[in-house]
Chain A
Amino acid sequence: MSDCRRQWNREDELPVYLAGPIATGPNQRKSFGMFSSVEGAFESKTIDFDNYAVGRKGSRTPRSGSRERLLDAGGAVGKTSSQARQGSLSDPPGEQDDARAGVEVRLSPGVDSADGQSEKLLIRGGRVVNDDQSLYADVYIEDGLIKQVGENLVVPGGVKVIEANGRMVIPGGIDVNTCLMKSYLGNRPVDDFFQGTKAALAGGTTMIIDHVTPQPGDSLLMAFEHWQEAADKKACCDYSLHVDIPQWDETVKYELELLVQEKGINSFQVYMAYKDVYQMSDSQLYEAFTFLKQLGAVVLVHAENGDLIAQEQRKILGMGITGPEGHPLSRPEELEAEAVFRAITLGNRVNCPVYITKVMSKSAADTITQARRKGSVVFGEPITASLATDGSHYWSKNWAKAAAYVTSPPLSPDPTTPDHLNTLLACGDLQVVGSAHCAYSLSQKAIGKDDFTLIPEGTNGVEERMGFVWDKAVAMGKMDENQFVAVTSTNAAKIFNLYPRKGRIAVGSDADVVIWDPDSTKTISAKNQQSASEYNIFEGLECRGGSALVLSQGRVVYEEGKLQAQQGAGRFIPCKPFPDYAYQRVKFRNQVKQGVTRGMYDGPVHDVAPMAKYITPSPSARTSPTFNQPPPIRNLHQSNFSLSGAQIDDYIPRRSGHRIVAPPGGRSNITSLG
């Protein structure tokens, strides 16, 4: 970030975007650097994005580069991709050459409509990168599906040909964590399904999995339908849904079952934080895990210790700290790591796959790493924000800036965190990259201006996600391109059972394809983002790598800065339960423990009956945890222990009723021992 700032400050010229329609900020801003964009953005968030949605993104090109062009054009609209790309900020000549050889779309004569579903497309000359291998091949797409992959394909006439010119052709990204409709005190995020998916597409993400966030007491089913309805109307890319469980009780079970079996939901989020609102106790978590495991669902966990957070918040407010810095102070890294540890322990006990959403700190990530090393089935999801920036901004003097970073768990103030998380991501200890995109406007954030606990939580990141993984991991040499595809798309598809329909370029897969340009560079700014929020937490960061062309459902939706998203084009993709990637190991581990076969103990038993009666009324006896367990009249020999179905020891004849007279190894009956 600092690099950019410096660079920015060196330029005395008018920032490019100020030439645009929203350059209405006070004068002094122009001469100062980096956050003026943001300043400008506050008041002007009334912009109609649709107006220049097409062109705005063209300024993927940083300001200095596109300066002249933008100025002559008087706006970004209508620029061609190659033009837009030409002058990127730091571009060496070589890059420019490459840029000129960019993606071209040629329309052979006779092609019907450009927006028709039945578009036939051929991506020629690209390097197809899947999570397992890369190869040079052409990809032929028809009817929204990939029909052929290979060289020298025989394709029908009238095909639109996209020249990839040797660039990477990768499966479209899957953003596993967005909250585009999560209301906070009745306020919806400014990025709804339309804005959010548009931003996603611009960043190379062709599918999102959004969180349905019902309030305690709401019906999960109703909430789900509400979400689905809204998304069907608005989403520009395919989507699926997670359902958050706001509280655990018996009535939820029925709805969960329905959601899994009929509605195509296979992932549910539970909370260990938000005391008195969403938080579940360990017992409830245990029950929920057990139940969800039976349904074959993936358990997502928001892992923070809510009890301690509540205490810390009280303490910090008491100390007179009310600004956004109170947020990370009240949610230290340890509380996240602790909850992750606990969630994994619960998962191990129940033998249920656990998916930790939003891994924000080194210690939480390390906890996951160690648990995986011990064989736990656990997945970790760092998000764009934790991979690209850190929590030092909470101490910014600018309230708006500090508040923009408020998310839970908070960004870790440790500046080495992003690096560490990227390393773990590269080596496979963390598996999936989400964005946790949940953008609130500044005025919404300002609800908490006098009390940090009231600031709505959420950061942007859906658009920048793929770019930053490339920039921080691949461009740094930590990760190869295959692993890049795995963490941005394939792993998510596998975990949520969408594979190979999504997450792979193969015959029969959905035609969600991105042509990735590793050499492009852009500087992130709230001015030229798709998101409707007026702040971008990555403001000024430079990011290598970006999508050159995005296909969603076989249609070109983004091409070199031009976004042609169609509202409502997104389909709901149902997810089946029992994803192999998560559940195969679990199934094998499901074997049952067996007791020791012993003779009946018939030695003396301390007379306890009268004592117990005496003790029971007062809750004062120190006893083992299950004092309220069924009375000890259980007959060991009659409990045949069938969980249901065949047992592992079915072939062993039960020795239930008969008394062991002379077992091998000597008599084990206590009275006759010795």
Chain B
Amino acid sequence: MSERRVSPDDDDCSSLLSRLGSDSPRPRMKYGGMFCSVEGAFENKTLNFDTFSPQTQRRRATRTQTGSCDGGDGGQGQMVVFSSGHARENYGKRQGDRLIIKGGKIVNDDQSFYADVYIEDGTIKQIGENLIVPSDVRTVDAYGQLVIPGGIDANTNLHSPQKGLNPADDLYQGTRAALSGGTTTIMDHVLVEPGTSLLSVFDQWRETAEQKACCDFSLHLDVARWHEGLYEELETLVKDKGVNSFLFFMAYKDRCQSSDSQLYEAFGVLRHLGAIAQVHAENGDIINEEQKKLLCFGITGPEGHVLSHPEEVETEAVYRAITIAKQANCPLYVTKVMSKSAADVIANSRKKGIVVYGEPITASLATDGSHYWSKDWATAAAFVMSPPLNPDPSTPQYLTSLLACGDLQVTSSAHGSFSTAQKAIGKDDFTLIPEGTNGIEERMSVVWDRAVSTGKMDENEFVAVTSTNAAKLFNIYPKKGRIAEGCDADVVVWNPKETKTVSAQTHNLTVEVNILEGLELRGVASVVISGGRVVVEDGKLNVTEGSGRFVPRKAFPDAVYRRIRARSKMAEARGVPRGNYDGPVHDVISMTKSVPPTPTSRGPPGPKTQSGPRNLHQSGFTLSGAQIDDHIPRRSTQRIVAPPGGRSNITSLS
């Protein structure tokens, strides 16, 4: 991905084009190249944001500069002048910086207060006023700004191939963009294709990420096909590898989709291991049929995508996933909440006490699905993701409100970007368009702009939804997601007053279309400190490929599992002690014998699963490992002679 940067950059447009032009049938530079898609986006926005964005020029410059150093001599060679006057000698060394952030207001999810923060060796060492610090400390000036824990993006797809294509933004580009937006930890989805070993894919992924990522990362595992045999691997992953969340697909029929039975079994295992179940909630069966239908109708453009993934299909799956999770008593995390009704289902279930979490993403908070009908194919295709953005224009506001009131908990980006050329694989068939949108960079600003500056949310809640909640759910709190002594020095100095305009020309990604093109967002990360190092300052990005560390996560996060544990104890159903029924029994034995060969035995719902005379007392039902009721002696064989409340034997009922 980065080799394209090598091209001599006379101007940034052509540098971006250089790679594309090679497989393009026609050179398109004369028209402004791939930004024609951007032009298309202006159809309904009519503003040329470039002209009035004060930052644009500067950003562009940054981009070029950083670009050249990527391809050339690497991060160390770059000269960046910091306001504090410090030179750059510390940059190559991880955890080398000693920093003091002065004058800012520290905002955690529970309170805000004015204090200075002293950072050393990648951790926060002291917080307070008038700190006593060593002499050679760099000062970051945060007067008038907020000092918040670095954002945690709980859902990215920076390395998952689709149809054999790797995302345009890999773990390096993606994390770089994340840092520039104020996100200092990402959780990437490891897609495990059916038939491959979870462990080997995980190891490979982790290795890749360690080489490339510029910020700390953690990994979710996407299990495409569940079967009992995966238990061992899951156990290893949870206990030894630091993974505590697994995603299952309810969509993508015949490829990744799990049936309800599979989900139930898997959820049971996850609860046992103390992990969190995530679902991609869409009804794959219906989608599949709808796609066939639409293609028959002759609808092949990107609008077919949203037509074949209607809102209620998402809602239905969310509802079902919640039902299953409730039955299995497993915590559930619904990724990518894209519609009002899906969010409502989550909110209602939470009101009923179900342990479920909802994650809206940058795109669903910032824009809507009207663009699928854009006349410009590239624009329309850029929005293709699943579940799709909702055509209802009031969706973003609604989701923001739910986020503000706590019905939805975590914001992420679901970043998975594909270039227009990659998307164009599906130019004649919308079902082939690789799915994914950008958003990793804009996430924090979008939440600030949509929720905080509109007055829906306060700054503490902002920290909660962008960082702390995710840290708690996924059990990396308080190492991440809080500014306190001993926490990781992932700190962002947030400037609520500054604005920036999103544009594909100035963003830090390789994709040539930004779905938020032209949006003006209030709230910008002015300084970003990742692992104790200043990586963003004054709009300049200074990252080191491979500096990100893997963040292992332990099982049984308290925030999630306390309730689950208590419920497992409560949920034990008890039978009614009765005497044995010894009245007449209709003779069915001969029938049952004759029935099984013909599939006519009418439905006691599992006649085929249990064959012959089940010995109830021997089915110990071990999922494996200890059961919650192990301490209760099984009352299997004893006959109740005189139960409390009198004999219940039917023959002697009086």
Chain A residues within CB distance 8 Å of chain B: 26, 28-29, 32, 35-36, 39, 42, 182-187, 213, 215-218, 273-278, 281-283, 285-287, 290, 305-323, 325-326, 329, 332, 334-335, 337-338, 341-342, 345-346, 348-349, 395-400, 402, 408, 441-444, 446-451, 453-457, 592-608, 611-612, 614-615, 618-630, 632-636, 639-641, 643, 665-666, 668, 670-674
Quick one: which of A182, A305, A628, A666 contacts B602, CB cutoff 8 A?
A: A182
Q: Does B298 contact A639, Cβ atoms closer than 8 Å?
A: yes
The residue from B163, B264, B609, B650 contacting A400, defined by CB atoms under 8 A apart: B650
Q: In the bound complex, do residue B327 and residue A334 qualify as a contact, i.e. CB atoms below 8 Å apart?
A: yes
* Known interface pairs A334-B326, A668-B376; A622-B256 also in contact (CB < 8 Å): yes
Residues of B within 8 A of A337 (CB): 323
Q: Given contacts A317-B616, A443-B585, A625-B254, is CB(A402)–CB(B576) below 8 Å? A: yes
Contact A323 B295 (CB under 8 A): no
Contact A187-B224, Cβ < 8 Å, known A286-B285, A625-B291? no
Q: 25 A–B contact pairs at CB < 8 A?
A: A185-B588, A186-B594, A218-B600, A274-B603, A275-B261, A275-B609, A282-B286, A314-B609, A319-B572, A321-B575, A335-B323, A342-B283, A345-B315, A398-B648, A399-B650, A408-B605, A443-B583, A443-B585, A606-B165, A620-B194, A624-B433, A624-B434, A625-B288, A633-B428, A668-B40
Cβ-defined contact, A185 with B602, below 8 A? yes
The 10 closest A-B pairs by CB, nearest first: A318-B621, A282-B285, A639-B298, A620-B193, A397-B648, A215-B600, A307-B260, A611-B164, A641-B298, A604-B24
Q: In the bound complex, do residue B376 and residue A595 qualify as a contact, i.e. CB atoms below 8 Å apart? A: no
Cβ-based interface call for B420 (8 A): yes
Q: Is B639 an interface residue (CB 8 A)?
A: no
Contacts of B425 in A (CB 8 A): 605-606, 608, 632
Say yes or no: B588 contacts A186, CB within 8 Å. yes
- B354 nearest CB neighbor, chain A only: A334
Chain B count of residues within 8 A CB distance of the other chain:
144
Interface residues in B598-636 by Cβ distance below 8 A to A read 598-610, 614, 616-617, 619-621, 629, 634-636
A408 surroundings in chain B (CB, below 8 A):
605
Q: How far is the CA of A131 from the CA of B611 in the complex (A)?
A: 51
Q: Is B353 an interface residue (CB 8 A)?
A: no
A634 contact set on B, CB distance < 8 A: 295, 300, 428-429
Q: Which of A35, A283, A326, A665 has the most CB of B within 10 A?
A: A283
- B255 and A273 form a contact (CB under 8 A): no
* Min C-beta distance of A381 to chain B, whole Å: 20
Instruction: Determine whether B292 belongs to the interface, using a CB cutoff of 8 Å to chain A.
Output: yes
User: In the docked arrangement, what's the CA distance between A628 and B253, Å?
Assistant: 11
Is the C-beta of B380 less than 8 angstroms from some C-beta in chain A?
A: yes
Q: Chain B interface mostly helix, strand, loop or mixed?
A: loop
Instruction: List which B318-358 residues lie within 8 A (CB) of chain A.
Output: 319-320, 323-324, 326-327
Contact of B604 among A334, A449, A455 (CB under 8 A): A455
**Which of A323, A341, A623 gathers most chain B CB within 10 Å?**
A623
Using A185-B602, A290-B289, A636-B428 as known contacts, list a sample of 9 further A-B pairs with CB atoms less than 8 Å apart, ordered by residue number in A: A182-B602, A216-B600, A349-B290, A399-B648, A442-B584, A453-B607, A603-B24, A625-B253, A627-B255
Q: What is the bound-complex CA distance between A671 and B420, given in angstroms?
A: 12
Could you tell me if B24 and A447 are in contact, using CB atoms closer than 8 angstroms? Answer: no
CB pair B320 A605 closer than 8 Å: no
- Shortest C-beta distance, A220 to chain B (Å), equals 14
Q: Are B300 and A673 in contact (CB under 8 A)?
A: no
Q: Using known A-B contacts A183-B602, A215-B602, A455-B604, determine if residue A287 contacts B289 with beta carbons closer than 8 Å.
A: yes
State the Cβ distance, B46 to closest chain A Cβ, in Å: 12
B592 adjacent to chain A (CB < 8 Å):
yes
The smallest beta-carbon distance between A281 and chain B, in angstroms, is 6
* A604 adjacent to B23 (CB under 8 Å): yes
- Given the known A-B contacts A342-B283, A595-B303, are A621 and B576 also in contact in the complex, defined by CB atoms under 8 Å? no
Q: Is residue B39 contacting chain A, with contact meaning CB distance below 8 A?
A: yes
Q: How far is the CA of A641 from the CA of B184 in the complex (A)?
A: 50
Q: Is B426 an interface residue (CB 8 A)?
A: yes
Identify which of B131-139, B207-215, B305-313, B496-504 touches chain A.
B305-313
